[in-house]
Structure 1
Amino acid sequence: MIPRHAASDLAHRLGEYAEAVCRHYLSNGRRQGNYWTVGDVRNSPGRSMFVRLQPSPKGPPGKWTDAATGEHGDLLDVIRESLALVDFKDVVGEARAFLAIPPSEPLRPKEATTRLPTPIGSPEAARRLVAMSKPIIGTLVETYLRGRAITTLHGTAALQFHPHCYYRPDDHGATETWPAMIAAVTDLDGRLTGAHRTWLAPDGTGKAPVDTPRRAMGDLLGHAVRFGVPGSVMAAGEGIETTLSLRCVLPDMAMAAALSAAHLAAILFPPNLQRLYVIRDNDPAGDGARDSLFERATDAGIEAIVLSPETEDFNEDLRHFGLADFRASIADQLMRKDRIRYLTQAA
């Protein structure tokens, strides 16, 4: 038996991500203002059922009513009816899987859900995490980035904020929740293949005090966190903060963060790319990624130019030297035509 208070808490958590729940389980509907409309709780096409997406004087998000039948309920009912689940334990299991909440104890085979839970770390889990997150402006992510001197935040839709992202310690200790910057990893066609999490301190002034504050999930090889639509020119680097630092002086140049040296070396090239600026980190792994990517680009007929920091990476350069001196150091490394095209607009 699931305690009533536990079910109520689960419904409340689902309500915090009401739109993401509706998009997943009531996919035949659509958003209209502060409501999700669909035919009925079993996901039939139509508009007679309304799911509240925002808190209001009428009640919390996630509550729904079917005007045609008088049925009403919460998002646990949506999961039960849309998937035709019978056992409430199956409903709870599905809800916990959607929210990426680790189970308190393993389910016995006879209690397994009718639909397999989403594997932890899979592309589907990454898609759900991104769907449950929200834009960064006005959140702890903005605080964190501005604290690292990154102030050019337009065109960063690939970054999202999750206020309570689950963190599992490497030593298999108790699961914790921390605010997190969520970065969507996409392929060249814009399809989401993975996600990257940076757990943050509660006030956003730095990373969370955990052993591994950065982790990626999903299908990453060849893909990246992308800022802007690449044309004939783009830049690619390892870290999100390093890449965003370069955007502070080249805000109109398309860029991609591959998330590691190994993935930077394997990043896929857009079909129309003619010139690639390789953002180098000043360490042995960065040198290896630079050499591999330079060779791959040259073999593909793409002009490759390496951009090097004066310190360990571009974010440290930006914070240590300031924006004006950082811009000057980048200008010296760009082709003249790109200085005219990109730097004059950023000055």
Structure 2
Amino acid sequence: MSGSAAELAHRLAREAEAVCRHYLSNGRRQGRYWLVGDVQNTPGRSLFVRLTGPDVGRGAAGRWTDAATGQHGDLLDLIRLNRGLDRLGEALGEARAFLGLPKRELSRAPARAGSSEAARRLFALSLRIAGTLAETYLRNRSITAPLADVPALRFHPVCFYRAHDVAPRETWPALIAAVTDPHGAITGVHRTWLDRDGAGKAPIATPRRALGHLLGNAVRFGMASDVMIAGEGIETMLSLRCVLPDMRMAAALSANHLAALSLPPALRRLYIARDNDTAGRHAAMCLRDRARAGGIEARILWPVTNDFNADLRRFGADALLVRLRGQLAPEDAQRFALGDTRPVASG
């Protein structure tokens, strides 16, 4: 959390009951908590805000949880969601106005829209993926790999979406993926908005968008050391993870970003999971040439159809594994490609 956001959250916590009476007027106090239906101020008892407690740590004042959705956060998060603000700077301004603070009282400027700080905050507000619509969506894409142990993936039940700058805001459930640098620091997020039953993507113009700093970074499935696979899409890499669960992988999210991916210093062999289109082939060759120039052995993996998720869905996990074994170095086939490809239970 940035300095200004942390300072505001602490000030709001000291006025927790006043915040609740203003933004959650349909709720009521019960002991040390304020109870209401949800962050939109619906009457009910699912959401509870702690009104008293220490400034930080367990039981801190101002912390809230919605037992129905699993959402949680501090009072700055609550204000942002209550007012439908998709930019952190707008939420900071709303909080300042509530507290009657001039801008000069805060030590730092608010996070810019689209910044890495805004991305980190969205990821922190999201839920574990197991048992959510995001897991349902991936299972519908024939991705059977365990997801509970994938910290890069989360779910947000009401993620804001705008078709363009002056369009009205909408909320849709979303698969949230953390974009990290080679050291594991979050620099951005990727959002895939989902239909409300999780059967597919949301029926909106651009159901996939990134936020934050992507160039050189990726959605990572394990931190790479000596061997890894890099590709474009999240679903492509998760499809490979179904049959190569011990291989470290990175999804760069686009062809251009794949070509510019930063490679770990200890890497000795790189596999590039190519998409079967002109941009995908060009990106794979660019990354291969960069890797080789840096002394890294690089090999391109190619699918039969458009990408490896399409291969998985059309031919199944066993056929995909057989095809990959023939493209890996013999020692990597022995090390990574001997696993069981039977589907796992959800969760």
Range into which the TM-score falls when normalised by the shorter chain: 0.7 to 0.9
1:4: how far off? 6.7
C-alpha separation in 1, matches of 2:26 and 2:293: 56
Match of 2:114 in 1: 121
Greater relative CO (CA pairs within 8 A, separation 6+): 2
Question: Which residue identity lines up with residue 13 of structure 1 in the other structure?
Answer: V
- Give the conservation status (yes or no) of the 8 Å contact 1:97–1:118: no
Match of 1:224 in 2: 218
SS at match of 1:156: coil
| Pick aligned residue for 1:30 from 57, 63, 69 | 57
1:249: how far off? 0.7
* Bigger mean CA offset, 248-257 vs 150-159: 150-159
Relative to the length of structure 2, the TM-score reads 0.75
Match of 1:85 in 2: none
Match of 2:125 in 1: 132
1:233: how far off? 0.4
1:7: how far off? 4.9
SS at match of 1:345: coil
Alignment of 1:14-163 (within 5 A): 29-31=56-58, 36-37=59-60, 51=63, 53=65, 55=67, 76=75, 100=87, 114=103, 116-154=109-147, 155-163=149-157
Relative to the length of structure 1, the TM-score reads 0.75
C-alpha separation in 1, matches of 2:337 and 2:221: 17
**CA RMSD, aligned part only?**
3.8
How many residues in Structure 1 have an aligned counterpart in Structure 2?
298
C-alpha separation in 1, matches of 2:117 and 2:111: 7
Decide whether aligned partners of structure 1 residues 28 and 235 sit closer, same or farther in structure 2, where only a CA change above 3 A counts. Answer: farther
Match of 1:82 in 2: none
Question: Which residue identity lines up with residue 224 of structure 2 in the other structure?
Answer: P
Q: Which runs of 5+ in 2 are unaligned?
A: 1-18, 28-35, 342-347
Question: Which residue identity lines up with residue 153 of structure 2 in the other structure?
Answer: L
Question: Which residue identity lines up with residue 56 of structure 2 in the other structure?
Answer: G
| Pick aligned residue for 1:203 from 197, 200, 222 | 197
Match of 1:83 in 2: none
1:331: how far off? 1.2
Q: Which runs of 5+ in 1 are unaligned?
A: 42-49, 63-74, 80-90
1:299: how far off? 0.5
**Partner deviation per Cα, 1:100-156 (whole Å, 9 max, x = no partner):** 48969x99xx99963554322111110110000011110001100000000102432
- Give the conservation status (yes or no) of the 8 Å contact 2:80–2:86: no
- Give the conservation status (yes or no) of the 8 Å contact 1:98–1:118: no
- Give the conservation status (yes or no) of the 8 Å contact 1:130–1:182: yes
- 1:245 and 2:245 correspond: no
Q: Between the two proteins, what is the percent identity of the paired residues?
A: 48
Decide whether aligned partners of structure 1 residues 112 and 168 sit closer, same or farther in structure 2, where only a CA change above 3 A counts. Answer: farther
Match of 1:271 in 2: 265
- 1:13 and 2:42 correspond: no
1:330: how far off? 1.1
- 1:169 and 2:163 correspond: yes
C-alpha separation in 2, matches of 1:179 and 1:205: 12
1:323: how far off? 1.1
C-alpha separation in 1, matches of 2:101 and 2:275: 47
C-alpha separation in 1, matches of 2:304 and 2:208: 24
